[in-house]
């Protein structure tokens, strides 16, 4: 199995990636602007900074002993985990945050000691061309990082057998990938999406909730896997929240033409599809509203990830109504709860599983690597970022090291005598 054996090779490669990003920052910004119409500020905020933070984490924390973690120690024994590279890893990139969602998993794969192949998303002509060139300069012989040149998953998996596949994208595409894999040979991490609720209870700070909602839905025109998909709000405070939301949007539109921004950022095919379905329900929809009030759970937008700069609003009379709404949707990747009452928080986090929970804030799970990130069931398999990436891209084995004499060995071994049985029963009573 090919792998990066040498600790210094890993550190050198991670340092070179960091230098590469800083040295070619302007080219990266221009390429992403050409492909996705993204503002440079947003690229730096949401793409470049998270990658640099991940690099800094591993450059600081990775050491020669990272392959072994001790869990407990005594003069008689030690217990711990061994981390071995998986081997050949495939990382399938996506288009909405291509720099971050390429390099954050790549950094973890390198730190774990794998040989990594990158499969770019076909939408990104300029970015893909630039990255192919820079990676070739980084690793001229393609010994550690390789670029997949195939045009379909059939070709990709016919060309090479992978030990591990990391994919970011839609649930439907993850099913297609699984068709080509032998589960006994290739493990996976799927970072997908889902219906992420934005719950607002009576005790919530509505000004803050409106501010956080706007941030999440305006960022990259709502094309973020953890952006809120629907608002679940107490009917008594819904008008007050809408008022705060309008004030927030009005304040922003004095500086930014939101509709024009969305027209630039949303791919035309998706924009036309959204407009078609929206205008079939209401006479006119303005993206600058950001919300569509509808308690009809048959609305198709309640059954799919929106990935767009608006969300549905469901007004409830009782918190118990949430169960039906939750159960008819794909599992949430993220769950937002705005409330001042701990009992409301406890109700949601204990009753409704999600990949990640954020209380009185949005998007922050994506901005740091102190915690792992991942989904649940249809919203994802596996978690990464920070130390979780090292675990994800490694085979984890348990290790017990016994030292000296095992005083209990005679008691455990044949022959089983009546005296031993009495001692065993005494031990059993002690455990009680």
Strands 145-147 and 311-316: unpaired
Active site residue 155: no
Instruction: Answer yes or no: do 162 and 294 share one domain.
Output: no
Predicted local confidence at residue 46, as pLDDT = 95
d(CA 238, CA 221): 23
Q: In this structure, what token pair is assigned to residue 333?
A: 């990747």
* Cβ-based neighbours of 16, under 8 Å, separated by 6 or more: 138
Instruction: Answer yes or no: do 166 and 221 share one domain.
Output: no
Q: Is residue 163 part of a domain?
A: yes
Instruction: Answer yes or no: do 345 and 232 share one domain.
Output: yes
Residue 113: pLDDT band with limits 50, 70, 90 = very high
Active site residue 42: no
Instruction: Answer yes or no: do 238 and 184 share one domain.
Output: no
Q: What is the mean pLDDT of residues 181-196?
A: 92
- 225, 242, 244, 391: the active-site residue: 225
Tens of pLDDT, residue by residue over 395-413, are 999 988 887 777 678 888 8
Predicted local confidence at residue 175, as pLDDT = 94
Instruction: Answer yes or no: do 342 and 242 share one domain.
Output: yes
- Domain of 386 in residue numbering reads as 7-192+379-397
Tens of pLDDT, residue by residue over 57-104, are 999 999 877 776 666 666 677 888 889 999 999 999 999 999 999 999
Tell me, what CATH number does 27's domain have?
A: 3.40.605.10
Q: How many domains does the chain have?
A: 2
Residue 106: pLDDT band with limits 50, 70, 90 = very high
- 54, 92, 189, 191: the active-site residue: 191
Instruction: Answer yes or no: do 153 and 217 share one domain.
Output: no
Tens of pLDDT, residue by residue over 245-255, are 989 888 876 65
């Amino acid at each position: 199995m090919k792998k990066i054996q040498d600790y210094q090779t890993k550190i050198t490669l991670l340092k070179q990636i960091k230098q590469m990003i800083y040295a070619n920052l302007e080219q990266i910004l221009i390429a992403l602007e050409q492909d996705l119409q993204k503002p440079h500020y947003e690229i730096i905020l949401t793409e470049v900074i998270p990658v640099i933070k991940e690099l800094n984490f591993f450059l600081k924390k990775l050491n020669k002993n990272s392959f072994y973690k001790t869990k407990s120690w005594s003069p008689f024994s030690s217990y711990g985990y061994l981390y071995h590279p998986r081997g050949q890893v495939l990382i399938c990139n996506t288009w909405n945050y291509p720099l971050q969602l390429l390099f954050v998993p790549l950094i973890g794969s390198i730190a774990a000691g794998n040989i990594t192949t990158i499969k770019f998303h076909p939408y990104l002509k300029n970015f893909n061309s630039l990255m192919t060139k820079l990676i070739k300069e980084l690793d001229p012989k393609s010994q550690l990082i390789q670029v997949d040149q195939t045009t379909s998953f059939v070709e990709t998996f016919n060309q090479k057998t992978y030990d591990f596949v990391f994919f970011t994208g839609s649930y439907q595409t993850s099913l297609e990938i699984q068709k080509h894999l032998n589960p006994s040979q290739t493990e996976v991490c799927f970072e997908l999406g889902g219906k992420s609720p934005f719950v607002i209870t009576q005790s919530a700070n509505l000004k803050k909730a409106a501010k956080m909602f706007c941030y999440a839905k305006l960022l990259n025109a709502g094309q973020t896997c953890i952006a809120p998909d629907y608002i679940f709000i107490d009917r008594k405070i819904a008008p007050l929240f809408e008022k705060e939301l309008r004030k927030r949007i009005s304040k922003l539109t004095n500086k930014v033409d939101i509709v024009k921004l969305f027209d630039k950022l949303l791919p035309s095919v998706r924009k036309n599809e959204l407009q078609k379905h929206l205008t079939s329900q209401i006479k006119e929809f303005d993206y600058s509203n950001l919300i569509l009030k509808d308690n009809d759970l048959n609305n198709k937008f309640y059954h799919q990830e929106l990935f767009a700069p608006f969300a549905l609003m469901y007004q409830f009379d009782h918190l118990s109504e949430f169960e039906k709404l939750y159960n008819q949707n794909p599992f949430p990747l993220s769950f937002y709860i705005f409330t001042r009452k701990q009992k409301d928080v406890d109700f949601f986090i204990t009753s409704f599983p999600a990949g990640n929970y954020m209380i009185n804030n949005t998007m922050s799970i994506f901005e740091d690597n102190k915690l792992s990130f991942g989904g649940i069931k249809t919203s994802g398999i596996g978690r990464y970022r920070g130390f979780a990436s090292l675990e994800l891209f490694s085979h984890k084995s348990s290790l017990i090291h016994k030292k000296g004499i095992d005083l209990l060995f005679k008691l455990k071994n044949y022959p089983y005598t009546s005296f031993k049985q009495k001692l065993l029963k005494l031990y059993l009573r002690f455990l009680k």
